[in-house]
Amino acid sequence: MFHLPIRPRRNRKSEGIRGLIRETSLSAANLIYPMFVQEGTENTPISSLPGCTRWSVAGLVEECRRLIDLGITTVDLFAVVPDDKKTPTADEAWNPDGIIPQAINALKNALPDITIMTDVALDPFNSDGHDGIVEFRPDGTYEILNDETIEILCRQALCHADAGADIISPSDMMDGRVAAIRATLDSEALDNVSILAYTAKYASALYGPFRGALESSPKTGDKKTYQMDPANIREALREADLDINEGADMLMVKPATLYLDVIAAMRAHCSLPIAAYHVSGEYLMLKSAAASGWIDERSATLETLLSIRRAGADMILTYAAPQAAQWLREQ
């Protein structure tokens, strides 16, 4: 026998001891479920996101009842918009009778204690598929117009807040939009509505299944002039400072697992709550590997979500939220 006065394994010898010293926890309360809502009465499974659905308003309400029973109290709503309602100026985005205000009203009437977050960006409503208004030039080039887009985002945010949204979540990455939305909400006595800013939204290759779910891929070019370069981390901290100074209540890093270093850096940099978005491509990689029998889906998913919490995220948006909440309840 070796004389080893220091044996770290003593702190791992039973589940009871491991539980006593566990540094990071994961619970259903940390999870936010992104949900897609569409017009009509059909609930349509999403082929690009196995386990997820394009919900009717009635179906959305019933699913949210189930989520609350699982301990998930916050949902993030995304609009599925028919092509005939998409325009270059995204007018449907601030329609008070649109699908998102309908969904908010139905949820608040049926489940008044649910917390509703709404996505604020133009890509589901824009016939060009971009998060902002596109100006095409005679020479064939184009530009995503920043300030003109912000004007529409403010109308969209006000529309959602008027309907009863608790948290407005601008995902567009336009410069100055947090300050403009905050000023708009405050001017209408909606100063209690929170803003969760997509602070560091990277121009990632992992958004494909989400764009398939919303049919919102850009018709021209890409989103690299407004979403962040995956090579940069100092830029994320600059964006954090701007969003904090403009009045954001919470900050987000998107995607999550490939950007754990950014989450950790942002956690060390500021005191605001931090969200991380476990995006569609990250979710689908786990689902695909599990379907092929190469990994155990339950263990790999919970380990992934725990790693995001360990990096410093207070809350996680994930398509795995209902299943993860069920697994956490069982264990």
Domain boundaries, the chain: 25-330
> Is 239 annotated as ligand-binding?
yes
Q: CATH number of 25-330: 3.20.20.70, 3.30.420.40, 3.40.640.10, 3.50.50.60?
A: 3.20.20.70
Q: Give pLDDT tens digits along the chain (331 positions).
A: 789 999 999 999 999 999 999 999 999 999 999 999 999 999 999 988 999 999 999 999 999 999 999 999 999 999 999 999 999 999 999 999 999 999 999 999 999 999 999 999 999 999 888 999 999 889 888 999 999 999 999 999 999 999 999 999 999 999 999 999 999 999 999 999 999 999 999 999 999 887 776 666 777 778 999 999 999 999 999 999 999 999 999 999 999 999 999 999 999 999 999 999 999 999 999 999 999 999 999 999 999 999 999 999 999 999 999 999 999 999 8
Handedness of CA 217, 221, 227, 229 (dihedral sign): positive
pLDDT at 214: 64
pLDDT at 216: 62
Give me the active site residues, please: 201, 254
pLDDT at 222: 87
